[in-house]
Structure 1
Amino acid sequence: MVEANKIDSANSIIKAKIDSKILEEKKKKIAKEIAKKAKIQGFRPGKVPVKVVEKMYAEEIKRDAISEAVKEVLDEGIKQLGANEIIGEPQVIKFDEKEDGIDVEIKVFTKPEVNIDDSYKECVPDVTLPEVSEEEIEEELKKIAKQFAESKVVDKESLEKGDVAVIDFKGYIDSKPMENGSAESYPLEIGSGSFIEGFEEQLIGMKVGESKKIKVKFPENYGAKEIAGKEAEFDVTLQEIQEKVPAEINDDLAKKYMNDENATLETLKNYIKDSILQRKKAETFAPLKEQILECLVEKYNFDLPENIVDQEVDVIIGNEAAKLTPAEIKELQENPEKLKEFREKFVDEAKNRVKLTFIIDVIAKKENVSVNDEELTQILYYEALMQGQNPTEYIKQVQEQGLIPVLKMNLIQEKLLNKLLEDKVKGE
């Protein structure tokens, strides 16, 4: 007899007594199936006596019979509940074997009933976007002009910070020439920090044609271990002084920067204006997104599947455990009461995260917001490049770790929040 009851709209319990007679019938049926296929020495294929099979495969037959009976209980219980979408694996919370059968209780978890009308829009605050000034555009143009600056020889009395020093140098450690420690006519921008700390500063004030000994010490963590932490001396001669002259701000600069022969200065200005606007929009939206999420969590209440909440608690604990000392982790492992207290600290946070996932899912469907596989792949590809990893291997690794659904939901949430705020900007 199977009895299914809802604890709430997302959690249910199925109870049943699996009669020993039913189990015996299933065991006989399974034994007969095995007998048809079993290859046992001394018997022809398909002619193995059932009694022999029952004896040889007793444990396997019993396990399969119980598994089949429990599945039938589960199927019948789900049918009684009228549950359409089961979430996660059912949990057997009671399994009591007796002479007359097995008492079993199974918890099942379903997608919660989330009823959301258009009132979610009340959580979206008014948005005022800052304007982009001409001064900001001009400032960006100057930065771009500096990027395309050209070095030109200048007649200066002495070298200053910001100048380009064209130098000959030879390096020595313990009075012996350094391997790859010399160069001629090397252009070094003073203040760029491209040489060892202290080197560039000692060049300031040198005159063209002047030679000077520069003493520096390589850092302890320097890449080349054979010279890490050692003192070095460089013979340096200043051949000439150059200044970086920013490129002219005109159509040619626009063509170079945008890599477009049809670009004009006006095109570049519009591009810069849009870039600044997008940056300001992101800065304006960021705190408002947190505000929207907090409002949605407070606004809606519904039952949550316990297994999903437990999984989220595990994720949070996994992250928190990384911050603990080995001694603290050991204490939690050895003290069940403390571990329980530690776990309970994160239950509310886990519930809010799970609740938000269901809310976002419903609202995203209402707003026709989704993320397709192509978009996800592009983002993962970009992330891989930013981390200096092989994109194909990185994507495969993310897939193997089962992170695709989480990443997809995060992207949907981001797209949805942007859309809600964009609509508010437009006054919709």
Structure 2
Amino acid sequence: MQVTETLNDGLKRGYAITVTADELDAKVNEKLAEAQPEIEMKGFRKGKVPMALLRKQFGQRLLGESMQETIDGAMNEHFEKTGDRPAAQPEVKMTNDDWKEGDDIQVEMTYEALPDVPEVDFTQISVEKLVAKADEDSVDEALKSLAETAQNFEDKPEGEAAENGDQVVIDFVGKLDGEAFEGGSAEDYPLTLGSNSFIPGFEEQLVGVKAGEEKAVEVKFPEEYGAENLAGKDAIFDVTVKAVKKPVAAEVDDEMAKKFGAEDLEALKGQIRERLEAEYAGASRAVMKRNMLDKLDEMVSFELPPSLVDAEANQIAHQLWHEENPDVKGHDHPEITPTDEHRKLAERRVRLGLLLADIGQKAEIQVTDAEMTQAIMAQARQYPGQERQFFDFVRQNQQMQQQMRAPIFEDKVIDHIAEQADVTEKEVSKEDLQKAVEALDEE
């Protein structure tokens, strides 16, 4: 086997690989020899079929396997010898298209090598960690929000009209062509206007009604409505308004606290304080992480694989285009060309991604099975009733696993750096912390 360098330009590499016909033939014979003891053929005992006959019977099939294995072996040997790590799957193609059995194999391999990443002295990194405490005003504000979610409804003064957010208690009968249809009637139904719990157009027509009023509500069922006999049909609902009620926030007391699973109001305040400070801690970590990445980006400089930068720039441009054009769901749109700003951001992401991967590898940082399981379960909770299906989907999808593993690995590398960096705590108000978080989106 012969390997000859044909390209060495920056991180771009090219090699011509020659696998001789004798090497390939030896590989085929090796495979036949391995299989011979288990092969039975008419007229011969098991394991006694002559090699010449085996070659005639299986040679062509094994030839393809041998070619692939020999080329793969040559590539692996090359990477072990040179220490190169390809940034992506190498491009490999045969150059002698007129190859026939008995000829040498000529292969061209090209790839971009990952760069050598410089060492970083983490002790030279200084960052602030913002610390915000949950004050009484913040706790009281959260309690007020909870009280609104636990709201009750009480009758509005006689003669007052219903508004969005009010609750109307109604009897109704739905009719198609003057005939009541099954499942279209109810009595004493409490409907909150603006909740969009009824078909489009129904609730809007009840804004302004008063207790004791009767109203014919005209609607059209959606074309995709679940019941085929109603889909796309025009209907009239005869509605009797029995009461109009306004929302009233729950009293902030022990009884409200018990509705949220706390023993009393003080216990609920304690839970709120813990939740708020956990949110503050998460926001603080995001700010510290960005600052640390900024410092790392300033400290290192090395050549980047063009293909990785191009792919990242295209992805950034594509994502931002869809954010600016939310109505376009698919990919049937004009070609999107990355700008210089997109490429600059792509270079930062690729550089930091390679740096963090190198730091994590040298520190032997691993994402454990327990950490992955915890992350999968946390995300599965976003799909109530389908947790098991989501869990199984992730377990069977390597790409999805990698997407979930990457941020966990990155956070562990950041923690590893923070242990050696100069991290000083600075107490701030929640408003100042919020401003620091908002500043992240502006950069």
SS in 2 for 1:165: strand
**What's the counterpart of residue 53 of structure 1?**
54
Distance 1:133 1:308, change over 3 A: same
Aligned residues: 408
TM-score (norm 1): 0.70
Farther off after superposition, 4-13 or 349-358: 4-13
**What's the counterpart of residue 425 of structure 2?**
426
**What's the counterpart of residue 372 of structure 1?**
368
SS in 2 for 1:426: strand
Supply the distance in 1 between the matched residues of 2:418 and 2:31 (Cα, whole angstroms): 61
* Amino acid paired to 2:53: V
- Sequence identity percentage: 24
**What's the counterpart of residue 262 of structure 2?**
260
**What's the counterpart of residue 138 of structure 1?**
140
**What's the counterpart of residue 217 of structure 2?**
215
Contact 1:92/1:107 (8 A) holds in 2: yes
Q: Deviations over 1:31-61 (max 9, x none)?
A: 5555554433334444433333333334235
Shift of 1:234: 1.3
Supply the distance in 1 between the matched residues of 2:66 and 2:45 (Cα, whole angstroms): 26
SS in 2 for 1:158: coil
SS in 2 for 1:114: coil
Supply the distance in 1 between the matched residues of 2:395 and 2:316 (Cα, whole angstroms): 21
Matching of residue 117 in structure 1 with residue 124 in structure 2: no
Distance 1:203 1:177, change over 3 A: farther
Unaligned runs of 5+ in 2: 323-328, 428-443
Matching of residue 325 in structure 1 with residue 337 in structure 2: no
Supply the distance in 2 between the matched residues of 1:236 and 1:367 (Cα, whole angstroms): 71
Distance 1:272 1:284, change over 3 A: same
**What's the counterpart of residue 431 of structure 2?**
none
Contact 1:140/1:272 (8 A) holds in 2: yes
* Aligned pairs for 1:18-167 within 5 A: 18-33=19-34, 35-63=36-64, 65-67=66-68, 69-70=70-71, 73-74=74-75, 76-81=77-82, 83=83, 91-93=91-93, 96=96, 101-104=104-107, 106=109, 113-119=116-122, 122=125, 126=128, 128=130, 132=134, 134-152=136-154, 156-161=158-163, 162-167=165-170
Shift of 1:379: 3.0
**What's the counterpart of residue 382 of structure 2?**
386
Contact 1:170/1:181 (8 A) holds in 2: yes
Distance 1:49 1:10, change over 3 A: same
Supply the distance in 2 between the matched residues of 1:135 and 1:388 (Cα, whole angstroms): 34
Match of 2:405 among 402, 408, 411: 408
* Amino acid paired to 2:270: N
Q: Deviations over 1:132-172 (max 9, x none)?
A: 55444323212222333344557644344355433333333
Distance 1:3 1:351, change over 3 A: farther
Supply the distance in 1 between the matched residues of 2:106 and 2:48 (Cα, whole angstroms): 36
Contact 1:4/1:77 (8 A) holds in 2: no
Distance 1:47 1:350, change over 3 A: farther
Distance 1:384 1:323, change over 3 A: same
Unaligned runs of 5+ in 1: 330-338
SS in 1 for 2:398: coil
Supply the distance in 2 between the matched residues of 1:21 and 1:168 (Cα, whole angstroms): 90
* Amino acid paired to 1:266: E
**What's the counterpart of residue 395 of structure 1?**
391
SS in 2 for 1:236: strand
**What's the counterpart of residue 206 of structure 1?**
210
Q: Deviations over 1:325-382 (max 9, x none)?
A: 38x68xxxxxxxxx9x99xx99887665444333223455789976432333233234
TM-score (norm 2): 0.68
Supply the distance in 2 between the matched residues of 1:315 and 1:42 (Cα, whole angstroms): 62
Matching of residue 360 in structure 1 with residue 360 in structure 2: no
Supply the distance in 2 between the matched residues of 1:317 and 1:170 (Cα, whole angstroms): 53
Distance 1:125 1:41, change over 3 A: same
Shift of 1:409: 0.8
Supply the distance in 2 between the matched residues of 1:26 and 1:278 (Cα, whole angstroms): 62
Distance 1:175 1:90, change over 3 A: closer
Q: Deviations over 1:90-127 (max 9, x none)?
A: 654555569774445556887754333235974x7645
Supply the distance in 2 between the matched residues of 1:84 and 1:245 (Cα, whole angstroms): 69
Supply the distance in 2 between the matched residues of 1:298 and 1:11 (Cα, whole angstroms): 25
**What's the counterpart of residue 334 of structure 1?**
none
Superposition CA RMSD, Å: 4.9
* Amino acid paired to 2:210: M
* Amino acid paired to 1:188: L
Contact 1:2/1:77 (8 A) holds in 2: no
Farther off after superposition, 91-100 or 210-219: 91-100
Contact 1:214/1:233 (8 A) holds in 2: yes
SS in 2 for 1:187: strand
Shift of 1:408: 0.4
Supply the distance in 1 between the matched residues of 2:294 and 2:93 (Cα, whole angstroms): 35
Supply the distance in 2 between the matched residues of 1:192 and 1:26 (Cα, whole angstroms): 72
* Amino acid paired to 1:407: M
* Amino acid paired to 2:118: N
SS in 1 for 2:49: coil
**What's the counterpart of residue 240 of structure 2?**
236
SS in 1 for 2:240: strand
